[in-house]
Structure 1
Amino acid sequence: MDTITHTLFGLGIYKAINKENMSKREKQTLLFTAIGASQIPDIDVISQLWDTSGQYQMWHRGITHSLFLVPVWALLFFILNFFIFRLKSWRFFWIALLAVFIHDTSDVFNAWGTGYLEPFSNARLTFGTIPIIDFVIWFIFLLAFILSKKGSYKESSIYRISWIMIALHIIIQSIQGYALYKQYEPRYEQLALSASFLPWNYSVIGKDENTVDIIQDSLLTQKHLMYKLQSSDNSNLKKLFKQNPKAQTLYKWSPFVVVVDNEERLGIYDPRFYRKGQSFLFEFIEKTQK
């Protein structure tokens, strides 16, 4: 998910906890823990500063998003809370544990995926049933904020209901996405799913031999073939990988790629992010390079 959504998750955790009997310092600790732990897995973005071998694509959402690192991050916040706020309470450890778990798990549901099982598996776990920016989640939290300001209901109760609504939204989206995936699975050798910003709509990306279809579909509408792409799979990619290490990383990272080999360029791109004739995950070299 995007940074704003992860921040909203942190605020949602903070608001969902009854703070009537908490001191000011405890509330500050709770806010720091909920938001900080909701963001901490994305600390891997700093790896761009020393990436000289084109590995950032694998490092981002890699080991820092591992399920096995969740208690480590939670323990870090337990220690930070002691040194910063002079509070030693295991309650905040469990809150941090929940916040990190929500971050890592929510990222699995979008097309980007995570190294959820690293270091035991380098595979990127991705369902593709929730968009990276999910406006439904934003709307639910906005509605909770508005209702909490009216004063008719307890704030913590409103936000707990909002979490139930978000969980139901993700479940409904994922069930529909899975149903579509199973419909298309017999037709293609390789298949991936990418949720649209419009709820209950998906891009189905299927590859059969050298052809990649990108289909807009849902369980409630007629399918629409958006793009039919040709991949030059027989091309030798050694020169590309040698001159552009990011391309080799992308090749390992993506479920499958489209190979471009024409008079101008040799490259690969991830078709899940193909829009208006271009994928923003496209690594290539110019044929004029020596």
Structure 2
Amino acid sequence: MDTITHTLFGLSLYGATDKEKMDRRTKIAYLFTAVGASQIPDIDVISQAWDTEGLYQMWHRGITHSIFLTPLWALLFYILCLLFFKVKDRRLFFLGWIGAFIHDTSDLFNAWGTGYLEPFSEIRITFGTIPIIDFVFWVIIGGAYVLSRKKSLVNRPFYFRAAWVVIILHVGFQSLQGYYLYQKYSHDYGQVALSAGFIPTTFQVITKHEGNVTIFQDGLFQHKQTLYVLESQEEADLDRLFANNPSAKTLYQWSPFVVIVEDDNKIGVFDPRFYRNGQSFLFESIEH
């Protein structure tokens, strides 16, 4: 998910917490933990500063997004609250744990994927059933905030807790549709990947059979439509590409599958899940 959504998740966790008997310092510690733990796995973006081998694609959403690291993030925020706010409350540990867990788990559902099981597995798990920026989350959380402002402090957590229930239902409904589409296309194509659209219930289904990559628009309330038909040059020799552009090798390993491009001017690979208007956001190449 994007930074704004992760921040909103943290604020929603804070909003769902009963703060009626808390003093100001304790409230600040809870807010710091809820928002901070909801953001901390993305600290891996700083690895761009020392990446000289084209490995950032694997590092981002890698070990820092591991489910096994979530209790360590929680412990970090518990210690920080003890040091800076002088607040000793074991519930802060569990709040931080939930925040980090939601961050890592929510990232599973969009097309980018995450190293959820690192260091025991380098597989990038991706369901592709929620867009990286899902405005439905914003609307749900915004609605909870507006409704809660009209109530007393003691009643406000109810609306944020209800928002979390609606968020889970939304993710579940989207994922059921994605599972149906995946199974539907898997019968006819060797490789299938999903990329959810910004409008709920709409999906791009990316398929690959031998050297042919086809991108479909499909969904529960729309007819199947062919958007792009791409040809991957599977016979191309990628060794020189990987030797001269290490990021291309990383992309090749990171993506569920790639489209290989080769002509008189260049050779490269791109991830078709991010293909829009004749180009992909993730494309690595070298000139001949």
Q: TM bucket by the smaller chain?
A: over 0.9
Structure 1 residues 67-76 or 142-151, which shifts more?
A: 142-151
- Say yes or no: does 1:163 pair with 2:164: yes
Contact 1:180 1:219 in 2 (8 A): no
Q: What is the alpha-carbon distance in structure 1 between the residues aligned to residue 81 and residue 138 of structure 2?
A: 29
Task: Give the drift of 1:221.
Answer: 1.4
Structure 2 distance, partners of 1:141, 1:219, is 25
After TM superposition, the runs of 4+ consecutive aligned structure 1 residues lying more than 6 A away are none
Query: Is residue 2:38 matched to residue 1:38?
Result: yes
Aligned alpha-carbon RMSD (Å): 0.9
Give the partner amino acid of 1:224. Answer: Q
Aligned residue pairs, count: 287
Of 29-38 and 75-84, deviating more is 75-84
2:157 partner letter: S
In structure 2, what is the Cα distance between the partners aligned to 1:7 and 1:220? 31
User: In structure 1, what residue type is equivalent to 2:113?
Assistant: G
What is the deviation of 1:89? 1.6
Match of residue 47 from structure 1? 47
User: What's the offset of the Cα at 1:90?
Assistant: 1.0
Q: 2:221 maps to which residue?
A: 220
Runs of 5+ unmatched residues, structure 2: none
SS of the residue aligned with 1:81?
A: helix
Partners of 1:88 and 1:31 in 2: CA distance: 14
Deviations, residues 125-159 of structure 1 (Å, cap 9, x unaligned): 00000000001001101111111122379210011
Matched, 1:79 2:79: yes
Aligned amino acid, residue 73 of structure 1: W
Cα separation, 2, equivalents of 1:155 and 1:11: 13
Quote how far apart the aligned CAs of 1:202 are.
0.4
Counterpart CA distance in 2 for 1:275 and 1:177 is 20
Aligned to 1:95: 95
Partner of 1:130, secondary structure, is coil
How many Å apart are 1:220 and its aligned residue? 2.0
Task: Choose 185-194 or 147-156, whichever is displaced more.
Answer: 147-156
**1:34-72 CA deviation, whole Å, 9 max, x = no partner?**
000000000000000000000000000000000100111
Determine helix, strand or coil for the equivalent of 2:26: helix
The residue that corresponds to 1:11 in the other structure is 11
CA distance, structure 2, for counterparts of residue 212 and residue 145 of structure 1 = 44
SS of corresponding position for 1:52 = coil
Distance in 1, Cα, partners of 2:195 & 2:145: 29
Distance 2:78 2:140 in 1: 30
Q: Deviations over 1:72-98 (max 9, x none)?
A: 111111111111111222110000000
Whole-Å Cα distance in 2 between the matches of residues 28 and 47 of structure 1?
Answer: 29
What amino acid does structure 2 have at the position aligned with 1:210? G
Residues 211, 231 of structure 1: 8 Å contact kept: yes
Identity of aligned residues (%): 59
Q: In the alignment, does 2:195 pair up with 1:191?
A: no
Q: Which residue of 2 aligns with 1:202?
A: 203
Q: Which moved more, 1:144-153 or 1:246-255?
A: 144-153
Report the residue type matching 1:271 in the other structure.
P
Does the 8 Å CA contact 1:6/1:38 hold for their aligned counterparts? yes
Partner of 1:109: 109
Partners of 1:3 and 1:165 in 2: how far apart? 21
Corresponding residue for 1:235?
A: 236
Tell me the equivalent position of 2:138: 138
**Which structure 1 segments of 5+ residues have no match?**
none
SS in 1 for 2:47: helix
Length-normalised TM-score, structure 1: 0.98
Query: Normalization by structure 2: what TM-score?
Result: 0.98
Quote the offset at 1:6 in angstroms: 0.1
Q: Counterpart amino acid of 2:18?
A: N
- Report which stretch shifted further, 83-92 or 123-132: 83-92
Give the deviation of 1:18 after TM superposition: 1.0
